[in-house]
Structure 1
């Protein structure tokens, strides 16, 4: 190594080079970021891009605000519209579910025999009401209601068995 160090000069730099190699050799004119873009619009209507494919079950619901669909136009409800008029009521599954929950609780807490017997009786009653609603077509859970009757009866039997065990001992 010799004693004199020369600064690095970028090759091809005008005027004998620049001491900084990271400066671009010919800076262009300043760019106006607010100017309109030059050339055609990126999504022009005359582009040669095909329309998107249609789903197998049709084009779907037209978004709100477009002609031919949405809520802002007379007769705009597309075919197959399931709105409020003529809508079926929701099923009344509460009694069958309550019977199932109370029946399971009565079977689980059979050591607390008074609570188990009360919960079991309520589970059988709610299960029977839920089973009747399912038979009439108002509810859709006849299996849960039947399971509530069975679990409630098992809870009653376990509670009475606990009473008998306590009386005998």
Structure 2
């Protein structure tokens, strides 16, 4: 089907999908060169100019373990281990946040505090148990 005739004052606005216009969504038109995909790298490494995503796992794990340690201090062996792990993971998370690898230094600090509270509660419970038996 031939295109419609051109008006005497010029073609005006070309309608969408008119033959010979720019391709839509990367599909070549009838008189365009074939689609050439965007060049990619060799598949190794991280693209230049892009930042790595934040690694917030240590701070989050610290907060979860710290809360479990503080809430479950009556199960003192488990709470003691969870509190120690919360303090360790919180320290690692704060270090990552300081280096810019993580974006949650407050969560890691809250994990350290909750873990320390859990450890203190276990120590107080243990001290009361020793005082009650003597």
Q: Same fold (TM over 0.5)?
A: yes
Counterpart CA distance in 1 for 2:26 and 2:109 is 46
Question: Which residue is equivalent to 1:91?
Answer: 54
4+ residue stretches of structure 1 with deviation over 4 A? none
Question: Which residue is equivalent to 1:125?
Answer: 88
Could you state the TM-score of these two structures normalised by the residue count of structure 2?
0.66
Q: Which runs of 5+ in 2 are unaligned?
A: 5-14, 17-23, 30-34, 40-45
Q: Work out which of the two has the higher radius of gyration on C-alpha atoms and give 1 or 2.
A: 1
Counterpart CA distance in 2 for 1:130 and 1:66 is 50
SS in 2 for 1:102: helix
Counterpart CA distance in 1 for 2:101 and 2:79 is 29
SS in 1 for 2:78: helix
Alignment map for 1:14-163 (pairs within 5 Å): 63-65=25-27, 72-73=35-36, 85-86=47-48, 87-163=50-126
| CA-based RMSD | 2.4
Counterpart CA distance in 2 for 1:66 and 1:92 is 41
Q: How many residues align?
A: 101
How far apart are residue 66 of structure 1 and its match? 6.1
SS in 2 for 1:140: coil
Q: Which runs of 5+ in 1 are unaligned?
A: 1-44, 52-61, 78-83
> CA separation of 1:65/1:93 partners in 2, compared to 1, >3 Å: closer, same or farther?
same
Could you state the TM-score of these two structures normalised by the residue count of structure 1?
0.53
Taking CA–CA contacts closer than 8 Å with sequence separation of 6 or more, which of the two structures ends up with the larger relative contact order? 2
Question: Which residue is equivalent to 2:42?
Answer: none
